[in-house]
Amino acid sequence: MKKIYIVRHGQTYINRYNKMQGWCDTPLTEPGIEGADQAGVALKDVPFDIAISSDLKRASDTCELIMKHNVNKNELQHITTPFFREEFYGYFEGMDSEMAWRMIGGGHGYATRQEMFAHENIDTIKDWIKEVDPYHDAENAEEYWARIEKGFDLIGQLDGAENILLVTHGFTIRSIWAKYGDNIPLVPGPKNSSITTATMSDKGEIKITAYNQMHL
């Protein structure tokens, strides 16, 4: 049985400005750096066998900040991978978040993201993002999960790794929470630097055990 400690990256400038941030990337703010350090302190006594992060810099930097506090920091290896990137928002990348979500949900009767997330399946929302994107570059649910599942396959193949640090993104953690949790609401979303925990059985079955925690 593997235990996966899933951390959302620290606050970035685009988070601060409330803009859509999928594959586009901005640095951590000072509060973002502090939040990553706080997550590192919260997780310092977990003897991580491996650290994995999205290859986007905000996640990679957060992972490095967490690792420096860890009891296994001198032996800990950090793997970066595109498999655990955020959802790709296509045309909506960098747009004001509320404006983007109104465009995505408006045709289906939703004025806000909170309304939409409270009433719709997250994979339906992914499909809507691609449909409304005038270039259709955004990832739909099928494209998104094909990528994320490669990431979990990678974790499953890590023989001997029982405690795993995984640093990824808000919509991705919300997606994992919705897929592997038990009748879990999508609102609220995970805070920056929050900790979500999951187990993976020897057969690769994933189960969420805690969500959006600031402490263990």
For 80-99, what is each residue's pLDDT tens digit? 999 999 999 999 999 999 99
pLDDT for position 69: 98
pLDDT for position 152: 98
Determine phi and psi for 102, rounding to 5 degrees: -65, -40
pLDDT tens string 3-22 = 999 999 999 999 999 999 99
Mean pLDDT value across residues 68-86: 98
pLDDT for position 93: 98
pLDDT-derived band at 51, boundaries 50, 70, 90: very high
Rounded distance between C-alpha atoms, residue 76 and residue 51, angstroms: 7
Which of 33-47, 53-67, 79-93, 107-121 has the weakest average pLDDT?
107-121
* Residues near 74 by beta carbon (within 8 Å), at least 6 away in sequence: none
The answer to whether residue 184 scores a pLDDT higher than 80 is no
* Residues near 85 by beta carbon (within 8 Å), at least 6 away in sequence: 22, 23, 54, 55, 56, 147, 168, 169, 172
pTM, rounded to two decimals = 0.97
